[in-house]
């Protein structure tokens, strides 16, 4: 091979090697890019997808909630008869305590049936408030109650800032255990349940029956006003949309032991324009002259319903 041929061969070999190097580099770059894209694709695929099954339930505008509080008559001290245990799915209750004896769990909804407050209480006006409401409202509307009441309590036990001063009204276990069951703070217990209920429906009113422990105290309307205002604020409610109904204690026509308290209760609308008084005249009482008997409770509950039907639904009951 001549020198010239050798030089030509070397040039050709160098060119061939450069081309091979170029193509190998191209293959490497292409493979790397593909692998990188594959990894990115895998990353995208392994990202946790949004759980479409977790849908926030809509608030039912026809699910109407009423908050109930007070002392023993609202709590339920009357005997429960068989007629009082008949339930209807249109009348609901939000269970306030765990009650194994009733197979009920705190914070769960049930078709309302006495007892509505604690595990071993009796008949409450809230029972017949609900029963009479659904009798007179369209089938599309459901009535629900949340009842947190403490027998023997001073009204200020429901004052969110001063309640601790009134947890020892009675040192006996029968009273102290009720306070403990409500986490030491019945007001907050009620508010917590009420907030839970607002995820399902609309709070339309508040029912109060209290006054026996505060008999003779002319500041009672002022105490109630503070509690009512706190409830409205804590639950983002408006007074003109959420009336307060307050029931009288056992009336003087039933020889009520504390009947004079009714003159103070009757002044409540002067302090709270959106409050209304439910008369206890003619509502039967027990021999202690402080607690209503079963028939008296049923009648009182019906009267709460009649008033609320007129206020919130512009209805005059056709079924009693």
Q: Phi, psi at residue 45, to the nearest 5°?
A: -70, -30
Query: For this structure, is 168 an active site residue?
Result: no
Query: For this structure, is 288 an active site residue?
Result: yes
Parallel, antiparallel or unpaired: strands 142-149 and 244-247 = unpaired
Angle among Cα 89, 90, 92 to the nearest 5 degrees reads 75
DSSP H helical ranges for 238-293:
261-265, 268-271
- What is the signed CA dihedral for 141, 283, 277, 77, rounded to 10 degrees? -70
The CA-atom distances, in angstroms, between 43 and each of 35, 46, 47, 262 are 12, 5, 6, 73
The residue annotated as part of the active site, out of 64, 72, 276, 280, is 72
Count of CB atoms within 10 A of residue 127's CB?
A: 28
The separation between the first and the last C-alpha atoms of the chain, rounded to the nearest angstrom, is 126
Buried b (16+ CB within 10 A) or exposed e, 153-183: bbbbbbbeeebeebbebeeeeebeebbebbe
Structure token digits, residue 78? 């009357």
Residues 6+ apart with CB under 8 A from 232: 238, 239, 242
The residue annotated as part of the active site, out of 181, 276, 291, 294, is 291
> Which residues partner with 83 through β-bridges?
none
Query: For this structure, is 291 an active site residue?
Result: yes
The residue annotated as part of the active site, out of 51, 139, 173, 288, is 288
Residues 6+ apart with CB under 8 A from 164: none
Q: Which residues are catalytic?
A: 72, 288, 291
């Amino acid at each position: 091979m001549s020198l010239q041929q050798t030089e030509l061969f070397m040039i050709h070999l160098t060119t061939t090697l450069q081309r091979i190097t170029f193509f190998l580099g191209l293959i490497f770059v292409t493979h790397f890019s593909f692998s990188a894209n594959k990894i990115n694709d895998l990353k995208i695929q392994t990202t946790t997808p949004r759980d479409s099954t977790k849908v926030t339930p809509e608030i039912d505008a026809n699910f109407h909630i009423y908050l109930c509080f007070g002392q023993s008559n609202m709590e339920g001290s009357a005997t429960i008869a068989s007629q009082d245990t008949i339930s209807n799915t249109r009348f609901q209750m939000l269970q306030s305590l765990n009650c194994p004896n009733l197979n009920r769990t705190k914070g769960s909804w049930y078709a309302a049936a006495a007892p509505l407050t604690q595990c071993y209480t009796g008949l409450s006006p809230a029972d017949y408030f609900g029963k009479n409401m659904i009798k007179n409202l369209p089938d599309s509307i459901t009535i629900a109650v949340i009842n947190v009441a403490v027998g023997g309590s001073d009204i200020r036990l429901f004052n969110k800032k001063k309640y601790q001063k009134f947890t020892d009204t009675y040192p006996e276990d029968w009273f102290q255990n009720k306070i403990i069951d409500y986490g030491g703070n019945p007001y907050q217990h009620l508010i917590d349940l009420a907030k839970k209920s607002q995820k399902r429906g609309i709070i339309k009113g508040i029912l109060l029956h209290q006054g026996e422990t505060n008999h003779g105290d002319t500041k009672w309307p002022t105490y109630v006003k503070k509690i009512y205002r706190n409830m409205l604020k804590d639950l983002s409610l408006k007074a003109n949309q959420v009336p307060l109904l307050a029931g009288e204690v056992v009336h003087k026509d039933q020889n009520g032991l504390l009947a004079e308290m009714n003159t103070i209760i009757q002044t409540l609308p002067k302090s709270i324009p959106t409050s209304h008084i439910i008369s206890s005249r003619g509502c039967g009482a027990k021999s202690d002259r402080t607690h209503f008997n079963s028939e008296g409770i049923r009648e009182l509950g019906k009267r709460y319903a009649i008033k609320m039907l007129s206020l919130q639904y512009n209805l005059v009951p056709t079924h009693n």
